[in-house]
Amino acid sequence: MTTFRPRIVNLSETQPNRRRGGDLRAMLTPSAVGATSGFMGMALVQPGERIGEHYHPYSEEFVYVVQGALEVDLDGDSYPLRPDQGLLIPPYIRHRFRNVGEVEARMVFHLGPLAPRPELGHVDTEGTEEGSAPAPPERTEPVS
C-alpha cells in the first residue's frame, strides 16, 4: 500500500518569474509536488502590465480568472476575460494577456501534458521590457 502525503503550497512560498511580464508563480510542479501530468500556477498582473506573447508547442493551457479585468490575444484577435471565466488555449496558439482594469488581475493557469523537453514547453514570440524581441516563428504541425 502506498502512503500519500499531501504537499500544500502557499503562493508566498513560490518565486516570482517576471521574465515574460507580470508575476508568474509556478506552484504545483513536478519538483514541488511530484506532478506528472502538468503543472499549475498563478499569474499576478498589475494594471497596465502584460504577459508577453508566446505559445506552447506541446501543451494545452487552461486559464481561470479569479480577479481583475484581462484581455487575451489569441493569434492576433482580442477577447475580454473577467472573474469566474475560464479559457482553453490549444497548442501552437499564440497568446498574450493584458491587465486592462484598475486592480491587480489574478489568473490561475494549468499546462498539460508536460513537455518532454524544455524547448517544447514554451516559445516566446515577442520580448518584454526586460528582454529582446524574438522573431515570430513559423507555425508548424504539433508534435505527435
**Residues contacting residue 115 through CB under 8 Å, at least 6 positions apart:** 56, 57, 58, 59, 121
For the chain, the residue count is 144
**Residues contacting residue 74 through CB under 8 Å, at least 6 positions apart:** 89, 93, 94, 95
pLDDT recorded at residue 129: 53
Residues 45 and 22: beta-carbon distance below 8 Å: yes
Closest C-alpha to 106, from 24, 12, 42, 19: 42
**Residues contacting residue 144 through CB under 8 Å, at least 6 positions apart:** none
C-alpha cell at position 27: 506552484
pTM for the whole structure: 0.84
Please state the rounded mean pLDDT for residues 119-123: 88
pLDDT recorded at residue 134: 42
- pLDDT tens digits, residue range 126-138? 875 544 444 344 4
pLDDT band at 144 (very low <50, low <70, confident <90, very high): very low
- pLDDT tens digits, residue range 64-106? 999 999 999 999 999 999 999 999 999 999 999 999 999 999 9
pLDDT recorded at residue 82: 98
Q: How far apart are CA 61 and CA 4, in angstroms?
A: 27
- pLDDT tens digits, residue range 11-61? 999 999 999 999 999 999 999 999 999 999 999 999 999 999 999 999 999
Residue 98 sits at φ, ψ, to 5 deg, of: -130, 135
